[in-house]
Amino acid sequence: MTSANAAHSVVEPSAVVRRFAGSLVVLYAIITMIPLVWIGLTAFKSPDDAISYPPKVLFKPSLEGFCNLFTTRSRQTPDFIKTLGPPQGLCDSIARSRNMVVAGPSNYVPRFFNSLIIAFGSTVLAVALGTLSAYGFSRFRVPLKGDLLFFILSTRMMPPIAVAIPIYLMYRTVGLSDTRLGMILLYTSVNVSLAVWLLKGFIDEIPREYEEAAMIDGYTRFQAFVKVVLPQATTGIAATAIFCLIFAWNEYAFAVLLTSGNAQTAPPFIPIIIGEGGQDWPAVAAGTTLFLVPIVVFTVLLRKHLLRGITFGAVRK
Amino acid sequence: MAQIRVEALDKSFGAFHAVRAAGFTVEDGQFLCLLGPSGCGKTTTLRMIAGLELPTAGTIRLDGEDVTMNRASARDIAFVFQLFALYPHMNVRRNIGFPLKCEGIGAAECDRRVVEAARILRISHLLDRSVSGLAGGDRQRVALGRAIVRKPKCFLMDEPLGALDTEMREAMIHELRALHDRLGATTVYVTHDQLEAMAMADMIAVMNDGVVEQVATPREIYDRPASLFVADFIGSPPMNFLSFRSGLQSGAQAIRLGERDIAIPAAREALAESDLVLGVRPEHVRFADRGVVRGEVYGSEYLGTTQIVTVTTRYGALKARSPSSISFRIGDNVGLDFRPDTLSIFDKTTGRAIRTALHEGAAHG
């Protein structure tokens, strides 16, 4: 099409519309980003700057928040502090300037580690179970297929926390409360219904001929599934994995209720970091900022699949 | 290579009876087309031979061995799908080599056979390309490559040319037949396109509504259709049908149609008075002023060297193939004659062809 007779296209939006839509998206992105930016900034503020009013946008950056996140400190008299040797590292010197000494590491690292194990563990399990059952529902004549699928979906029809008390009692009885395994099983059971439904859509779109061809060529059904279906379902698996991971990673209510000393994840831990005279906001912000990193990394690694995954199946070929 | 023997094969999906008592034999090295309209059960039959569906009843024998309930992977056959089913996550070389990988064949031998298959199909230059960028014809060649690389007992093809454009299809028809002649592989080929079947097959099995109506050579199917359905399905335009009611003496050489006698191949069976149908191919209709049937020209389709003239008669619209040089005007009153030795007669109730002298050439036709 030449510019001279560029016809009004029904499909392509005009430049004005496109620019307007673009600026709307940018505006929305900025609004969404503000809380994140605010948390990121707060992580580098000193406790005084963090609670000053009006809020400071320009401030002297400090690592005190991160130090307080990773350590526990005890207050000492200045005289006692003078009797100690030179400060051991940056955090110790920051602490000493506030008449405190570092007493030891905080629980943040083990809580973070719990989060990693529980979130990734339940994601792997939910996606694995979801892929297998979605394949079964997609390919075989399952008796009561529609009812079973509806039953699986119906577990999502109430907020999971509605069953918190029974689960709490059950977990106490079977000894799963405050265990990583218990949390993995719990998040898996919540996610697996989502995984089955998402993945069934993806697997339905993969023509049966691929497996049939492989089976005629001498492969068993399971080999055909692994060699032919799985590689083509990667997009769906990746998208499903991200959704499952985000849920398990962010989950707060069950974690508060079911975990404490042993299997506690990061979300219930971060908001209760107490400094002197109340909440230690820079430490909370630092903990939150670091908490975002794994999800960001995982999503960036799989973003190619995610984008296709969300729009997949929306338009029939 | 192997003989395929299908006996009394039945398949129901719930209440739907897809295939009824299908039976035929494909001799070693033969090319058989399963031909029929969509939904006639031809693909289901093929899938049962492949082991992708299990029959409700009946047996399938490969070289005499009963494989009816064997798994597809245990039958040593190759299947070419309409939509090619090339694995999008593999390149051409890996696609063709895929069937060999599970047989535990060494990499060197595997590669040698892939290269040989590619050479036969003239796609050697594409071996390291991704399959997603290939044109339809090349995709089909890759799919064929995957079939021939394993040297299976037989080839099963489910409308392999259905997804190609007309020009490509023409070329592939000849290539497929040449490939068959070269490999001598027993082949069952499903199509709804009679031209494909006519051009390639040694034998055609015409199916309708789950029933095998006739199994015969293309010439036999065309010249001596065994049923009304076959007569109607094969040929473009299809056979003309003139309904009449009459009895038939064995040895009768003519039938009474309206006030006129029409010469037919001598009847070889006797029939009580019943509803019958006279079948005439359009190319066996001749324009003659004193013809046995009169009618008005309704229109004509120009096809180059010939034209199809539609004539409205008291027996319905009849189509005649005539040289384009003759010109007709719409509304012309014309007489039609039929070439006697080619006429078919059917029992209207059962659809079965009545045995006449026409069928006597069958054995050596």
Q: What is the CATH number of the domain that holds A241?
A: 1.10.3720.10
Q: Per the domain annotation, does A267 fall within a domain?
A: yes
What is the model's pTM?
Answer: 0.77
Quickly state the pLDDT bin for A28 (edges 50, 70, 90): very high
Structure tokens at A35: 């809380």
B interface test, pick of A217, A227, A230 with most B CB neighbours within 10 Å: A217
| B50/A213 Cβ within 8 A | no
Tell whether A298 is covered by a domain.
no
Mean pLDDT of B127-148: 88
**Nearest chain B Cα distance for residue A212, angstroms:** 7
What pLDDT shows up at residue A122?
A: 97
CB within 8 Å: B81 and A218: no
Q: Minimal CA–CA distance to B324: which of B306, B336, B312, B311?
A: B306
**How does DSSP classify residue B284?**
G
Beta pairing partners, A150: none
Asked if B319 contacts B237 with a C-beta cutoff of 8 angstroms, the reply is: yes
pLDDT in tens, A107-142: 999 999 999 999 999 999 999 999 999 999 999 988
Total domains in chain A come to: 1
- pLDDT mean over B293-300: 92
Contact B85 A218 (CB under 8 A): no
Look over chain B and give the mean of its residue pLDDT values, rounded to a whole number: 90
Q: How far is B221 from chain A (nearest CA, A)?
A: 32
Q: Per the CB < 8 Å rule, is A231 touching B71?
A: no
Determine whether the interchain pair B73/A219 forms a contact, defined as Cβ–Cβ distance below 8 Å.
yes
Residue A109 is predicted with a pLDDT of 94
pLDDT digits (tens, 9 = 90+) for B5-40: 999 999 999 889 999 999 999 999 999 999 999 989
- Whether the bond between A54 and the residue before it is cis, its omega within 30 degrees of 0, is yes
Q: Do A216 and B103 touch (CB under 8 A)?
A: no
Work out the minimum CA distance from A119 to partner chain B, whole angstroms. Answer: 30
SS3 content of chain B, % helix, strand, coil (to 5): 30, 35, 35
Q: Tell whether A79 is within 8 A of chain B (Cβ).
A: no
Segment holding B337, helix H or strand E: strand B333-338
Residues on chain A touching B78 (C-beta within 8 angstroms) = 216-217
Q: Which chain A residue's Cα is nearest to B81?
A: A209
Alpha helices in chain A (DSSP H): 15-43, 47-51, 64-70, 78-83, 89-97, 108-139, 145-154, 164-174, 180-204, 209-216, 221-224, 230-232, 234-250, 253-258, 266-269, 281-301, 303-311
Domain that holds residue A176: 109-272
pLDDT at A309: 57
User: In A, which residues are within 8 Å of B75 by CB distance?
Assistant: 216
The nearest CA of chain A is from the CA of B52 a distance in Å of 7
Residue A288 is assigned to a structural domain of this protein? no
* pLDDT number for residue A279: 81
In a domain, A208, yes or no: yes
Within 10 Å of residue A202's Cβ, how many Cβ atoms? 23
Beta bridge partners of B295: B313, B334
* Alpha carbon of A208: minimum distance to chain B alpha carbons (Å): 9
| Contact (CB, 8 A) for B23 and B16 | no
pLDDT band at A315 (very low <50, low <70, confident <90, very high): very low
Asked whether the beta carbons of A33 and A68 are under 8 A apart, the reply is no
- Is residue A258 situated within a structural domain? yes
DSSP letter, residue B211:
E
Is there a domain that residue A79 lies in?
no
Ranges A22-36, B75-89, B188-202, B303-317: which has the least confidence: B75-89
How many angstroms separate the Cα of B333 from the Cα of each of A233, B284, B290, B324? Answer: 67, 19, 11, 18
How many whole angstroms separate alpha carbon B267 and alpha carbon B246?
A: 13
